[in-house]
Structure 1
Amino acid sequence: MAYSTPAYGSGSWGGSSSPYDSCVQQCIASYGSPMASYTPPTATSTMASSGSGSGMTHTVIVAPTQGVLRYVPFAINASVGDTVMFVWNANEHTVTKSSELAICNETSASPFASGEQNKSFTFTQMVNDTNSTFFYCGTPGHCEKGMFGIINPPNAAMGSNTSLSSMMPAMVANSSTMSAMWSYTNMMTSNNSAAASWGSNIDMSSMPEWAMSLVAENVMYSRTFLAANPETLDATGNVNLGAAGSTPLMVPMDITAVMSNSTSNSTAAMAAGSSPSTSAGSTTPTTTNGARALASPNMLAGLITLAAIAFAL
């Protein structure tokens, strides 16, 4: 499926309205978000911690934009001999190996660490086994906010009550924040069943309790990203960012922004209801977080364009 770069205020994307566009409009109405565009420059430096493998290369984006503390995708499946290439798209982040029981602490078992790097840096790691490998951002405070990821995540047995899909209903029921994130994710993935179920079988049984909700957040964010870029996800659930070629990738707003934007919009709506109404013919644009809210049926507000990182793919 081909995508064209959306022009701000053009009211078009790919030439026609689509179910995904309509879904995004629901999210805009509920949560709102600014819109921006970004084209990353050519890589400035590269570090290979263990050489390059002879198999596939899996690309992981380190922070898709400044302030979004995520690795995208959150988890990848890789075989022995494959190479994982981490590509920085924001400043002051690391890729540091950890473990499932101590996700935010550097491990001494076959460690790898990029050191703190900035936008356009790349770091490669060859896969030597298929054991679950956790990694995190060592910049103070980032991992604790959810900036960690997994190579070959642990998979739960079919029907297991320790899988993410089995545990998610309780998480949603017990947290209004998680419930809002879940509703947003469901809207964004409503027309893509593969994206909507991505990560469902991740086994949570050995993960520390404090990290479980963050795993869920990361999976939900990756789902919205994959729904926005369906060509990067195959039918088996494997992610290949290289499938986009030179087509820009769409980056949704961070999942943690859902609550703050929803609250801001609700407050604004209440204020508008108590203030004098404007005339029906008024052309004054409304604003959401500083971005003009354009009344276009296809506008993809809440999405940031990220050019596919061709040099890394």
Structure 2
Amino acid sequence: MDDLPTGRVMRLEPLVRRLLAPNPSPYTYTGTQSYIVGGGDVAVIDPGPDDADHVAALLRAVRGERVGAIVCTHTHRDHSPAAAALKAATGAPVIGCAPLVLDDDGPRADAAFDRSYAPDRVLADGETVAGPGWTLEAVATPGHTSNHLCFALRESGALFTGDHVMGWSTTVISPPDGDMAAYMASLDRLGRRDDRIYYPAHGEPVERPQRLVRGLAGHRKQREGQILRLLDETPRAIPALVERMYVGLDPRLIGAAGRSVLAHLVDLRQRGLVVEAGAVWARAA
């Protein structure tokens, strides 16, 4: 992870450049990736954390160009806080997801909500932001967060997937805002699209996106089946479920695994398949 080129521009295709922020962690992989779309008059997607070095790298990358839009997929603080500094330096409007601040007792310190996020324009599903030679269309993908958007680059068939689909791991679904049913519906929506390639905020580009989406949906259904089988044996608390389901898991990720298990349990409860009694969950009668 440490030898990857943070702060250095990498061109992925004629309309797309990428910069990696210096915020690697067990939850962000090598760090958050910001994308620059267009040439001459550009958009910056997911400007990243409030890190002076990363903001300076972004400004160097667009030197001599006009930033027409600062675009955010969601408001976790490894994605949107740099928008304020970038706007102050360039005058560009902040456009994209709706503001969302929620106190969450999940384990991901890097994923707390950005309380400074103040968009100039919120995009609804299907709305666009455009510049010379590029058009970004908002694709609503709630689940990881309720305000999550992906952005489709119409001119090239690329989809910027934020944290909804990542190139290295499954995303954390952390209630109360994270919603497993919404996440699965959003996966199904992407699976019915024909995007050529995904550019996630974490991990490498996804060159066979529909295959990955099917795999992610299958993985979540497998986890759901595990939970139901374990609860068929006996009622269990979430830590006991995690211990059985995630054998050999990095201890730093146990809290995140528990949040995803909780998200599954909340979904199963809404479907009438499990019940909660205090800290213990059981199959519904």
Please indicate the TM-score interval, normalised by the length of the shorter structure: under 0.3
Larger RCO: 1 or 2 (CA < 8 Å, sep 6+): 1
Per the normalisation by structure 2, the TM-score is 0.25
Q: Which structure features the higher share of strand residues?
A: 2
